[in-house]
Amino acid sequence: MSKDSLITGVFTTSERAAQAIDALTQGGVPRDYISIVAAEGTKVEAFGIQKQTKAGQGAAIGGGIGGAVGALVAGFTAVGALATSGIGLIAAGPIVAALAGAGAGAAAGGVLGGLVGLGIPEHQVKFFQDALNKGSVLVGVKSSGGNREFIESTLDRFGAERSVTSAAVGPGAAARVSGGGVSPEEWAEGNPLRRLFIEQVQDMYYAEQQLVDAIPKLRDQASHQDLARAFDGHLGQTRGHVQRLEGLFADLGVKAKAVKCPAINGIISESKELMAMDTTPALRDAALVCAAQKAEHYEIATYGCLRAYAEALGLSAAAETLQQTLSEEVEADRVLSELAERHLNPMAAAPMGASTTESKPAARVMF
């Protein structure tokens, strides 16, 4: 890991976030290595915040975040200084200096836009935005050395919904991130199989991001508790697949880029039609499985090809990474089939008005 990296986790309550921060500092992480982003209306007592305006740096930070002059707030004793973005968010800790120094927020539309410039992928920033709007707290920890596992395990232990690692934090970080890696065209120059390989990686990078947005909609339409739980489980797994592809890009030294995938767009469009069916909940559940398995089969086919291409190109580490995801997608399809055959399809086939028995939660429902 690079010397200065940002590891992030989202907590549903400020109390859990504060507990994680306490554990981190007790474990030797300096207080000024910890950052927070939260909605201005979020309960802040857990962090010992005492708001008072301070001139100077606050204006500079506000100018770099969404174009609105923000106030630097002193007394944020848990993690350092606090700044308001003028768009309903507050940011604290070293990430404030990083955003201000890089000028990342002004171009990208606020604190969260600035996070894109700091190396956190756009689809993850969207997740952060949705979570913050619901009152969650984003905690970022600068890792400097060999403490990555401790930081990530601590965030997870106190209920972080996800943890990701971005590139270096600090003034100029955005420029370093955006300038890293060669273009896919440069990497593949003179080798047709490399070109096919990297184009399909870009395809899957787009597809996985689209599925991160689509799966919650499937979950919300599911009536059977096991199916809803399965969608929740796969949502986390799909986010992991996105991160894995980002790691693959980095390992190859290629700039991460998503290329529009008409196939996954078509599958998602069809799933919307199935969700809109005017039918029984049981039949809709059976249709939702069909929609999900179409996406799974597309992913299985593509990841299988990618793994084979990587092997032919001598990219053994990439082949291993792709096989890991392929195995998870195959298991996903198996679990969906089992859930449909044992429970959902028989319930959908029952005559109208017939009573059905709700099954007990499956031993394993992640797919």
Query: In terms of DSSP bridges, do strands 53-54 and 34-39 run parallel, antiparallel, or are they unpaired?
Result: unpaired
* pLDDT value of position 276: 80
Is residue 191 located within the same domain as residue 124?
A: no
Q: What are the strands of the beta sheet with 163-166, ordered from one edge? A: 53-54, 72-73, 82-84, 89-92, 34-39, 137-143, 5-11, 163-166
Domain boundary among 123, 154, 178: 178
Confidence (pTM): 0.57
Confirm whether 159 is domain-assigned: yes
Confirm whether 362 is domain-assigned: no
Is residue 206 located within the same domain as residue 133?
A: no
Mean pLDDT of 115-131: 67
Q: Give me the phi and psi of 90, to 5 degrees please.
A: -120, 150
Domain boundary among 139, 159, 178: 178
* pLDDT value of position 178: 39
Is residue 21 located within the same domain as residue 102?
A: yes
Domain boundary among 117, 152, 178: 178
- Domain CATH number, residue 299: 1.20.1260.10
Is residue 69 located within the same domain as residue 211?
A: no
237-283 pLDDT per residue, tens: 898 899 889 889 988 888 888 999 999 999 999 988 888 877 888 89
Q: Kindly state the DSSP code that residue 119 receives in the 8-state scheme.
A: T
Is residue 193 located within the same domain as residue 244?
A: yes
Q: Under 8 Å CB-to-CB from 350, ≥6 apart: which residues?
A: 282, 356
User: What's the chain's average pLDDT?
Assistant: 75
Per the structure, the count of domains in the chain is 2
The answer to whether 252 and 195 have CB atoms below 8 angstroms apart is: no
Mean pLDDT of 104-129: 59
Is residue 170 located within the same domain as residue 263?
A: no
Domain assignment of residue 251, given as a range: 184-349
275-331 pLDDT per residue, tens: 887 788 889 999 999 999 999 999 999 999 999 999 999 999 899 999 999 999 999
Is residue 156 located within the same domain as residue 199?
A: no
Is residue 305 located within the same domain as residue 336?
A: yes
